[in-house]
């Protein structure tokens, strides 16, 4: 559609709406994502089918086009909040395998989302609160 009718594609604001269109499918595939207990391989969401299919979607990064932000937007809006939820509700800080999984997730997410952004700050706060609760 984009190649055959670029005007209609642009007028439909596909670059802006693509993350919202793909979000339900990403959420569905993330239901099986268990980053805390499977080690660093399980924490790597970039091995999942949704990521592989959407990685080459749209414009190249740095082009100024909204489509270049599809995967980072999905990671920022879906994966990071899910990771924060798993950390705050599921993660047992005394578990070495779970802690390795949290570290792998945070490292992986940091390459897609600004570490100083509000999403990563919420994730960091969840980690900090769980560690404080475990130490108490």
Tell me: the pLDDT tens digits for 47-83?
889 998 888 776 555 555 556 678 888 999 999 999 9
In this predicted structure, the answer to whether residue 1 has a pLDDT above a threshold of 70 is no
User: What sign does the CA torsion over 11, 14, 17, 21 have?
Assistant: positive
Strands (E), 1-135: none
In this predicted structure, the answer to whether residue 31 has a pLDDT above a threshold of 80 is yes
Q: Is the pTM of this model over 0.85?
A: no
Which of these ranges, 3-12, 50-59, 97-106, 120-129, has the smallest mean pLDDT? Answer: 3-12
* Distance (Å, whole) CA 59 – CA 56: 8
Would you give the distance in Å from CA 80 to the centre of its chain?
5
């Amino acid at each position: 559609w984009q190649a055959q009718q670029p005007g209609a594609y642009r007028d439909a604001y596909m670059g802006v709406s693509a993350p919202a269109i793909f979000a339900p499918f990403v959420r569905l595939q993330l239901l099986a994502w268990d980053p805390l207990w499977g080690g660093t391989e399980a924490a790597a969401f970039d091995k999942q089918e949704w990521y592989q299919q959407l990685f080459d979607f749209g414009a190249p990064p740095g082009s100024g086009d909204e489509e270049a932000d599809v995967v980072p937007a999905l990671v920022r809006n879906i994966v990071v909040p899910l990771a924060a939820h798993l950390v705050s509700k599921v993660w047992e800080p005394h578990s070495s395998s779970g802690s390795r999984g949290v570290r792998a997730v945070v490292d992986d997410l940091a390459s897609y989302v600004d570490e100083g952004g509000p999403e990563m700050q919420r994730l960091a706060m969840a980690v900090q609160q769980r560690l404080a609760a475990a130490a108490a």
